[in-house]
Each structure stands twice: as C-alpha cells, then as structure tokens.
Chain A
C-alpha cells in the first residue's frame, strides 16, 4: 500500500505519456508514431531527416500539441483540485462543479465577457486573458469560502447542507448568467455558450503558456499538503492535535484549488465530474492516502481528459463535441454509482 506509491505514480505517468502520444497522432490529419518521433527529432535538432510531410508538422506543432498540452493541464488542474477539495471538506462527494465553485468561476468569467466592451476594452490579448483567469479565480475563491461557511459546523462538513448549498449557488449563478446572457451581444453570446458547455477548442500556444503557472503551482504544491489532508480527514480538532496548523493549511488548500479551478474554467469553461471521478477511481483501486491520491489525481486527470478530448474531437468529425457534454455523460452515471455505494455503506 503505502510503500509502492512511487511505483503507482510511475505507472500513471507512463499512461499519461501514452495518451498524449495517441492523442497527438489521431485526428483529421493522421500522423504515425514514427512520423511523430521524426517531427519531434527534426524540430529539436536531433535529426536532419524529414520523414514526414510539412502539413503534418504544421498540424502537430500549431494545433495538436497545444491542444494536447491544454488537455493535460486542465485535466491535471481539475483532478488535483477535486482531490484537495474532497479532502478539505472531508467528503468524497465534494466536487468543484457540484458544490458551485465552477459556476462561481463561470459567473465571474461571464461578467468579465459582458462587461468587457465597456470597462475592459483596453485589456486585450494576453493581459485580457489574464484578467479573465483572474476574474474566474476570484469567483472560484469567493464561492469556495461561501460554501465552506455554509457547510461547516464545529469543524465538520454537513454533507446535505454542502450539496444543497451547491444547488443554491448553482441556481443563483445560473440566474445571473441568464441575466447576463439576456444582456449580451451576439458575439458575447457565442463566447458565453462556449463557457457553459466546456471545450478545449480555444487551444493555442498563448493559452497554454498563460495557463501553465496557474496549474503548475497547485499540481506541485498540493502534494506537499497530502499529509495534512490525511490528518484533516479525521476531523479538524484531531488534525490540530496531530500538529497540523489547520487554519493556515485550509487557506493554502483553498487558494491552490481555486487557482486551478478558476484558471481552467477561464480557458475551457465548465468541464464537470473530472474532479469527482478521478480521485474516486484512485481511492477505489489503490488507497485513500492523499499522498497517492493528490499527485495521482493530477496524472490520471490529465490522461483521462486528454483521452476524452480525443473522443470529443473525433467522434463527430469534422464537427466537434463540447467536452463538457462528454465528461458529464460519463461522470453523472459514475456519480450515481458512488451515491449508491455510499448509501449501502452507511445504511447496511
């Protein structure tokens, strides 16, 4: 169990690399594995030979690679934040989407889009994108704190309150998004629709590079809090008895998790259920120990979202399925399954 954590993480890394390779090769323009190697070798200066067509290289470098990387980053962000938030709320059902964090982030992003023409007109390009990330980060942060306040009592999460609070926040955010949709222009409307469905279609090198820090900090930072998350699972006072500075740890977890959720919502809109399923799979297959679940969720989340995106962009080609629809179709039944197992466990 505990001793082979490194081994499991290695396997998950291999799985991730494999999905990245497959996803890079498959698409409207097919690239074989050897051609892929050749493209990479040629462009990194390792080889002089050009055993591929120019079009393949162009597609790979300008379209497919940024898209695959975006999938990896967002999948990792959603997986790791899901694991951290479930640990923080001490409940396997807490998920950024379900408890309203994602919709809080979406609301702030939509506010940004609609108000953009009036207030944020100067903030274009990369700065504009940062502004959007920042807005959804703030939205995610505020909702997390709100949900936390609603659901915690004497250091314990009241799970029904948490989920009902999530419903209420989702409804409220939905109403405001509806209002803003009503006010929006046609161009803004198209943008808003994109947010609410969730898609990696906006992938480009600038989006990847701007997203990078928002994902890397939580992905490499949160595993350091895995021990504290384990302790928190026993209860806040129990964690304090074990020497965990609960207040500080909670703040860092909330900041990092919302950073990841906010930034990924800003880039790809709402992609539901990844944060719920991924940690659950890891807990079911291996262990509930956050020292595996947190970094593992980043790796497996990245692999699964890359795979899901591959399906999303090939299954109805040349059109493209919004990935949020796909993850919800897979995720919702898994969610129902988890609810039923929890029910059977608690009321035998």
Chain B
C-alpha cells in the first residue's frame, strides 16, 4: 500500500529525515516511535504531501504521491492532525459530514448521510450529534475528529489513515478508546500509520513498530523483535526495564527510575 523509498528532507541545512525507507501494507497498523525532534512530524507532513521531499519517493497503491489529484488523494488517505482547534462553532454532525466533502459537489447524497450516521455510531458519538464541537471535552473532540477522518475514507477499502499522536492530551480511558478504534480500522483493511509516544500502547496495538532517531531508522519490525532495552535506549536515551506480563507476548516497558 504505502512504500517509502530513500526519503530525505532538509530544513535550514539540517537533515530532518535521512534516507528513510519502509513500507506498510493493507490491514496493517504501523506505529512510529521516537523522541521529540526525531523527525516523526516531518515524516507525517511528507506522507500527507504537505511538504515535498528533498529526495526519495512515496507511493500509495503503486502511484507516486505527486501524481495524485488533490481530490483523489483525499479519497485515498485521511489524516488526523495533532492540533484541531476550531474558532467557529460547528455542530458535531456538521463536522463529521465534512469528512465526506471530497465525495460530493454541492449537496451530500443519501449515502453520505448514511456513512456519517454509521461512523458516528462506530465511534460512539451519536449522542453528541447536535452538540457544539467547542463545548465538548478533549476526548470527545478527538473522537469527533477521528469520526470525520474515518468518514472521509469509509467507502475506500484500500485507503490509508495517518494518525499524528492521536492519544495526545487524553486521559487513560479515551487513549484506550482511540487505540481500540485505530486497531479495528486496521483490522477492517485500512493501512494505518500512527505516531505514538506510549511504547506499551504501540506494542499492544500495532502490528509493526518503527523507531526513529535524528531522522534515521533505529529499528523496525514486530513488537517482540524491536522492543528491547538497547533499541529504546538508542531511541529515547533512557534506561528502561522490561517486565513480562501474563498472556502478553511483548514485555511491558517501564522506565528504570520508577523501579528503584
């Protein structure tokens, strides 16, 4: 689905991404881990075509990113950005309907409304339908935004979904909900690429994990393969301990300082 080849990006003479290659397939949830400034956000912007790479190329479904018409691209990939502040008051259902914008010209079809309804049910926000977005809590807002993003690619089975730190600023319950949703979307066949900060969430929900440092790949593979003290120290410059957990293939990661 997504192939990234020898991707580099420079800004102000500094290499933010350095010869990065990876791919992610249909039905796969790829988590990207890395410290602040590792190049995760730059990678996300490149994947979304917000910025153009210095060298290298990105293809989605065999077609180079640059060759997509903007509207077709919108039907092929959806993006949940990190910051979603809205100063004009929209109702929740109006906002979710915006996800269908690439699909209709002036008037939404019956099908569009149906999809909006279904997505709202699946994300558990039907009861918020006529609420003003700005009066919702952070967790509710994030679910509404996710619903909008899902609506955008709901009827495109080969689409990709980019999530930029989707659990940021949410409490545990909402973090969990968002990750369960992300997982179910991958299970439904989407290719989901997700930037995360929580290593344990990544190992629990992702099929594969890629770790970045200074724009370079530290490790990539199945959670059991890459979650180890060396890789984590290399990526985050902290010492951690691994704790085996029953019924759980990948060990839990705990900062060493906590255990003293």
Interface residues of A (CB under 8 A from B): 1-2, 86-87, 90-92, 156-157, 159, 224, 227, 230-231, 233-235, 237-238, 240-245, 283, 287-289, 291, 345
| A287 adjacent to B91 (CB under 8 Å) | yes
Chain B interface residue count, Cβ-Cβ cutoff 8 angstroms: 35
Q: Is B218 an interface residue (CB 8 A)?
A: no
Q: Is B48 an interface residue (CB 8 A)?
A: yes
| B48 adjacent to A288 (CB under 8 Å) | no
| A242 adjacent to B99 (CB under 8 Å) | yes
| B94 adjacent to A2 (CB under 8 Å) | yes
| B75 adjacent to A243 (CB under 8 Å) | yes
How many contacts between A and B, using CB within 8 angstroms?
Answer: 88
Jot down 28 A-B pairs with beta carbons below 8 A, ordered by A.
A2-B93, A2-B94, A90-B87, A90-B88, A92-B87, A92-B88, A156-B85, A159-B87, A227-B101, A227-B106, A230-B98, A234-B84, A235-B81, A237-B48, A238-B84, A240-B49, A240-B70, A241-B77, A242-B102, A242-B152, A243-B71, A243-B74, A245-B70, A283-B88, A283-B89, A288-B94, A289-B90, A289-B94
Describe B's contact surface by its main secondary structure. Answer: mixed
Which residue from chain B places its CB closest to the CB of A248 in the assembled complex? Answer: B70
**In chain B between 119 and 156, which residues have their CB closer than 8 angstroms to a CB of chain A?**
130, 134, 152
Contacts of A235 in B (CB 8 A): 81, 83-85
Which residue from chain A places its CB closest to the CB of B78 in the assembled complex? Answer: A241
| A288 adjacent to B89 (CB under 8 Å) | yes
Give bound CA distance, A91 to B87, whole Å: 6
Query: Contacts A2-B97, A227-B101, A235-B83 known; A243 to B88 CB distance under 8 Å?
Result: no
Give bound CA distance, A345 to B83, whole Å: 19
Contacts of B86 in A (CB 8 A): 90, 233-234
Give bound CA distance, A135 to B73, whole Å: 41
Contacts of B108 in A (CB 8 A): 2
Which residue from chain B places its CB closest to the CB of A291 in the assembled complex? Answer: B106
Contacts of A287 in B (CB 8 A): 91, 94
A166 to chain B, nearest CB (A): 16
Give bound CA distance, A235 to B89, whole Å: 13
Over the window 141-182 of chain B, the binary record of Cβ atoms lying under 8 Å from chain A Cβ atoms (1 yes, 0 no) is 000000000001000000000000000000000000000000
Contacts of B106 in A (CB 8 A): 224, 227, 291
B215 to chain A, nearest CB (A): 21
Over the window 91-121 of chain B, the binary record of Cβ atoms lying under 8 Å from chain A Cβ atoms (1 yes, 0 no) is 1011101110110001010000000000000
Give bound CA distance, A242 to B148, whole Å: 10
Contacts of A243 in B (CB 8 A): 70-75, 101-102
Q: Is B240 an interface residue (CB 8 A)?
A: no
Shortest beta-carbon contacts, A-B, top 9: A243-B74, A243-B102, A241-B79, A243-B71, A233-B88, A288-B88, A288-B90, A243-B70, A91-B87
B133 to chain A, nearest CB (A): 9
Give bound CA distance, A78 to B51, whole Å: 36
Most B CB within 10 A of own CB, among A92, A224, A241, A288: A241
Contacts of A87 in B (CB 8 A): 88
Most B CB within 10 A of own CB, among A1, A234, A237, A283: A234
Q: Is B246 an interface residue (CB 8 A)?
A: no
A141 to chain B, nearest CB (A): 24
Which residue from chain A places its CB closest to the CB of B103 in the assembled complex? Answer: A243
B209 to chain A, nearest CB (A): 25
Give bound CA distance, A235 to B90, whole Å: 13
Give bound CA distance, A291 to B106, whole Å: 9
